[in-house]
Amino acid sequence: MNPSPQTSAKCEVLFTVNGEAKKVLAHPMERLLDVLRNDLKLTGAKEGCGEGECGSCSVLLDGMLVNSCLIPVAQASGANIVTIEGISAHALIHPLQEAFLECGGAQCGICTPGMILAAVHLLEKKPEPALADIREGLAGNLCRCTGYMQIFEAVARAARRRVVS
Amino acid sequence: MRADPSEYKLVSPGNLQAVLSLMAGEPAQWLPIAGGTDVMVLYSAGKLPNRKLVNIWNIPELRQIEIFPDRICIGAACTYTSLRSHAIVVREFPLLATAASWTGGIANQNRGTLGGNIANASPAADSLPALLVYEAEVTLISVRGERRVAYRNFHSGYKQTALAADELIRDISLPRRFSGYVSHARKVGARNAQAISKVCLAALGRMADGAIQDVCLALGSVAPVPLRLNETEHLLAGKKIGPSLIDSARKSVVQKIRPIDDIRSTARYRAAVAGNLVAEFLEKLAAEGANA
């Protein structure tokens, strides 16, 4: 243990979360995950492993999928953040969420916000993903309930609908 | 025990000179943090010895990939995502692009950096054997100036590196002379993504007149450092590939490596797999190299 812990001052962090400008006062090494959940009350991102292995804390940071447990909040300064709460901002429900419901892609729900965000990120990059692309795109998101097949089917279904519409 | 954020400093100078001045002012005190995929794991577990961190994620010169006629120069804070989606990396350095695609899931590839992988110095890191066979050179920078170190001399022991207390990895340079080579990358782990390797191989080779003209082999997770197999390469050079040569190569690999038993595998399994991976590459080289 460090014998003489120093204390750091809290600093103001400005960023955009789900389209709204936000200002929080936080220690720079606070994890983005904790700031989202505790300060902004956005509890969609979940803490699973807390070490970047499970993907349940996934959010989009400037359009990139990231694990919010591995981001010090100071590194998110000025960023544009999208959480599961902001994913269906312009509709009642996002087509991916609808497909997850139809296919049984969610059971206990802990992994679901991260799965949906990873799938959103995947379809942005690859609008017509093969099964291998879906598996790779979601490989950083662990699910202990479904066995994954229903999740892969949900993403494939949402992709097909997007291409048709 | 979980870390208390109030006990840690994180500053973002936003330019390279200011970062280097900070590191020079209090050597070994300031830990650089880029994408955080290693640093934040230690931090969250309350195991990060440093209390002062300096942000290098937002330093533009560390994030670019520069192309020269004879080499490609990769900024230390380039992410795995940027590596695996770069046309020249994919075409001329497929072992590096493949290793980048193995490293973690997409979220970690969006944040994890090549320089971070080198500085973290894990013998199990997937991209490091690729850098060994591509004859990488790293540029280290401090307020004292720049120096270039051959990557094969960078790791001096388990988690020991050539980095001085005030130095930062600036870039990784790879000579553009391997496009004609047969290349082979193999990772053996519990799972493709998000699982650290039990053994991984990066190999390059070129045939001429039915014999091996040049061959470069490197393994991860079989020694305290990522390992280039010089002795096996010498044994193979100039020879025709056949069952007895493959057998000698396998023996030479097993003799050179120093695998351990740990949570991911056993020394015995690693030794057997290391030999098999080199044998598999030589069979591929014999088949594909003949047609090249």
Residue for token pair 């995502």? B81
Contact B131, B192 (CB under 8 A): no
| Token output for A149 | 């097949």
In this structure, the answer to whether residues A61 and A119 fall within a common structural domain is no
pLDDT tens digits for A108-160? 999 999 999 999 999 999 999 999 999 999 999 999 999 999 999 999 999 99
In this structure, the answer to whether residues A100 and A144 fall within a common structural domain is yes
Q: For residue A46, what are the domain limits?
A: 11-85
In this structure, the answer to whether residues A111 and A80 fall within a common structural domain is no
DSSP 8-state assignment for residue A106: -
Residue of A nearest to B107 (CA): A66
In angstroms, the separation between the Cα of residue B238 and the nearest Cα of chain A is: 40
Closest CB to A121 among B6, B101, B106: B106
Partners of residue B107 in chain A, C-beta under 8 Å? 52, 55, 58, 65-67, 118, 140
Chain B within 8 Å of A85 (Cβ-Cβ)? Answer: no
Q: Is A6 part of a structural domain of the chain?
A: no
Bigger pLDDT: A92 vs A20:
A20
Q: Among A29, A58, A85, where does a domain finish? A: A85
pLDDT tens digits for A94-108? 899 999 999 999 999
Partners of residue A142 in chain B, C-beta under 8 Å? 194
| Token output for A25 | 């006062």
Partners of residue A83 in chain B, C-beta under 8 Å? none
Q: For residue B195, how many other CB atoms are within 10 A of its CB?
A: 16
Residue of A nearest to B4 (CA): A30
In this structure, the answer to whether residues A19 and A58 fall within a common structural domain is yes
In angstroms, the separation between the Cα of residue A135 and the nearest Cα of chain B is: 10
Q: Among A29, A63, A85, where does a domain finish? A: A85
In this structure, the answer to whether residues A78 and A22 fall within a common structural domain is yes
Partners of residue B104 in chain A, C-beta under 8 Å? 52, 140
Q: Is A28 part of a structural domain of the chain?
A: yes
d(CA A12, CA B216): 51
CB contact under 8 A, A140 and B33: no
| Token output for B248 | 């000698």
In this structure, the answer to whether residues A79 and A99 fall within a common structural domain is no
Q: Is A68 helix (H, G, I), strand (E, B) or coil?
A: helix
Closest CB to B8 among A8, A53, A64: A8
CB contact under 8 A, A5 and B11: no
In this structure, the answer to whether residues A101 and A78 fall within a common structural domain is no
Q: Is A101 part of a structural domain of the chain?
A: yes
In angstroms, the separation between the Cα of residue B123 and the nearest Cα of chain A is: 19
d(CA B279, CA B180): 21
- Indicate the number of domains in chain A: 2
ipTM confidence: 0.94
Partners of residue B58 in chain A, C-beta under 8 Å? 75
Q: Is A108 part of a structural domain of the chain?
A: yes
d(CA B35, CA B83): 14
For residue A66, the domain's CATH number is 3.10.20.30
In this structure, the answer to whether residues A133 and A78 fall within a common structural domain is no
In this structure, the answer to whether residues A36 and A63 fall within a common structural domain is yes
CB contact under 8 A, A28 and B10: yes
Closest CB to B44 among A27, A51, A64: A51
Contact A75, A105 (CB under 8 A): no
CB contact under 8 A, B104 and A140: yes
In this structure, the answer to whether residues A58 and A102 fall within a common structural domain is no
* One pLDDT digit (tens) per residue for chain B, 292 residues: 689 999 999 999 999 999 999 999 998 999 999 999 999 999 999 999 999 999 999 999 999 999 999 999 999 999 999 999 999 999 999 999 999 999 889 999 999 999 999 999 998 899 999 999 999 999 999 999 999 999 999 999 999 999 999 999 999 999 999 999 999 999 998 876 667 888 999 999 999 999 999 999 999 989 999 999 999 999 999 999 999 999 999 999 999 999 988 888 999 999 999 999 999 999 999 999 876 5
Domain boundaries, chain B: 5-54, 64-175, 183-289
Q: Is A100 part of a structural domain of the chain?
A: yes
B64-175: CATH topology? 3.30.465
Closest CB to A69 among B44, B51, B57: B44
In angstroms, the separation between the Cα of residue B82 and the nearest Cα of chain A is: 12
Partners of residue A137 in chain B, C-beta under 8 Å? 106
Residue of A nearest to B104 (CA): A140
Sheet of strand B30-33, all strands in order from the earlier edge strand to the far edge:
B9-11, B52-55, B30-33
Give CATH for domain B183-289.
Answer: 3.30.390.50
Amino acid at B60: P
pLDDT band at residue A2 using 50, 70 and 90 as cut-offs: very low
Q: Among A50, A85, A120, where does a domain finish? A: A85
Q: Is A16 part of a structural domain of the chain?
A: yes
| Token output for A36 | 């989202």
End-to-end CA distance of chain A: 58
Partners of residue A51 in chain B, C-beta under 8 Å? 40-41, 44-45
The pLDDT, as a whole number, for residue B124 is 87
In angstroms, the separation between the Cα of residue B121 and the nearest Cα of chain A is: 18
Which helix or strand (DSSP H or E) is residue A12 part of? strand A11-17
For residue A140, the domain's CATH number is 1.10.150.120
Best to test chain A binding among B4, B10, B187, B191 (most A CBs inside 10 Å): B10
Contact A58, A33 (CB under 8 A): no
Q: Is A3 part of a structural domain of the chain?
A: no
Q: Is A160 part of a structural domain of the chain?
A: yes
Chain B within 8 Å of A59 (Cβ-Cβ)? Answer: no
In this structure, the answer to whether residues A17 and A80 fall within a common structural domain is yes
CB contact under 8 A, B3 and A55: no
In this structure, the answer to whether residues A81 and A99 fall within a common structural domain is no
pLDDT band at residue A1 using 50, 70 and 90 as cut-offs: very low
